[in-house]
A = this chain, B = another copy of it.
Amino acid sequence: MNITVWNEHVHEQEGGEAARIYPDGLHATIASALSDLGSMRTATLGEPSHGLPPEVLSVTDVLLWWGHAAHDQVSDEVVTRVVERVWQGMGLVVLHSGHYSKPFKRLMGTSCDLQWRHDEVETVWTVAPGHPIAAGVPASFVIPEQEMYGEFFDVPPPDELVFISSFGGGEVFRSGCCWTRGRGRIFYFSPGHEEHPVYHQPEIQRVLLNGTRWAAPSATL
């Protein structure tokens, strides 16, 4: 399986918590967590074609996407290329603030709005324990510090809902959602703020691994 981890890689270069927690970028931590699955590649906003020229996308089985501060800087040409590769069968795993990325919004057909607030404890609950993305994931687990993402999350009703989160303020969020577009599978997973070491947490890495495998085209399994 060929996996490409895309990260805008903006916050980590600005210093602060993000730089401290992810010194080589979020993408490096995520790619490392998935390395057992196959051949890993990373790509960032600053590279030519954002690191996603046709020759990279055409051999990518699953693309993971993390973006936040620079959604608008992603060229429409690359967005169209990503969307059309999903239609052809490429899996797409969209992370955290990627809910507002151009490819995700194009594929969902909705505003992808949500409620948010800083600094909260998040508890992730498995509501589809037989789903492949929940394999080996506990019935619930805690993320000690995380940005709060709350409902109403304006996405189409997911084809499969795997996780629901609650937050210290009593909010809830559909935090693990699956959709199909064309021949491609899309998994959105909301935990993963850049100022917290979320992607270092074993349960999170397990979900990413399961989600990437689930999103892969059948022929690669």
Contact = CB atoms under 8 A, between A and B. Distances in A.
A69 to B, nearest CB: 24
Given A109-B108, A110-B87, A171-B166, A182 B218 contact: no
A172 to B, nearest CB: 5
Contacts of A171: 123, 125, 166
* Interface footprint category on A: 35 or more
A116 interface: no
Contact of A219 (B135, B166, B181, B184): B135
> How many copies of the shown chain assemble into the complex?
4
Interface stretch (A9-17, A27-35, A147-155): A147-155
Contacts of A125: 150-152, 171-172
A56 to B, nearest CB: 21
Interface in A182-221: 182-185, 210, 217-219, 221
Contacts of A139: 151-152
14 contacts: A89-B130, A110-B182, A123-B172, A125-B151, A125-B172, A127-B151, A128-B180, A130-B217, A131-B218, A156-B159, A157-B159, A157-B161, A164-B164, A166-B170
